């Protein structure tokens, strides 16, 4: 799967990472795919929950070494 946008938030902590993710995802066009990188599991869960609550599709959540990778498709 090819991502349209890489959003690297590994240096931010919640709530700043969630705010940044929301801004970046909201700027995407409908149907675009984003790869979001975060440093911790609580941030990963917050962003995944927010994305689904907004109607976006979380395609994959995966731990990659010392960070988490979230793939989502904008509604």
Active-site residue, 44 included = no
Residues with Cβ within 8 Å of 65's Cβ and at least 6 positions away in sequence, in order, are none
- Exactly one of 13, 14, 39, 58 is catalytic; name it: 14
Question: Which whole-number Å values give the CA distances from 27 to 7, 32, 39, 40, in the listed order?
Answer: 12, 10, 22, 24
Could you give the CA distance from residue 57 to residue 33 in angstroms, rounded to a whole number? 9
Q: How many CB atoms lie within 10 A of CB 57?
A: 12
List the catalytic residues.
14
């Amino acid at each position: 799967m090819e991502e349209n946008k890489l959003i690297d938030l590994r240096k931010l902590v919640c709530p700043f990472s969630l705010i940044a993710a929301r801004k970046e995802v909201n700027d995407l066009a409908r149907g675009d795919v984003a790869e979001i990188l975060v440093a911790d599991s609580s941030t990963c869960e917050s962003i995944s929950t927010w994305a689904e609550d907004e109607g976006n599709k979380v395609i994959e959540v995966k731990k990659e070494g010392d960070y988490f990778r979230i793939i989502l498709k904008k509604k």
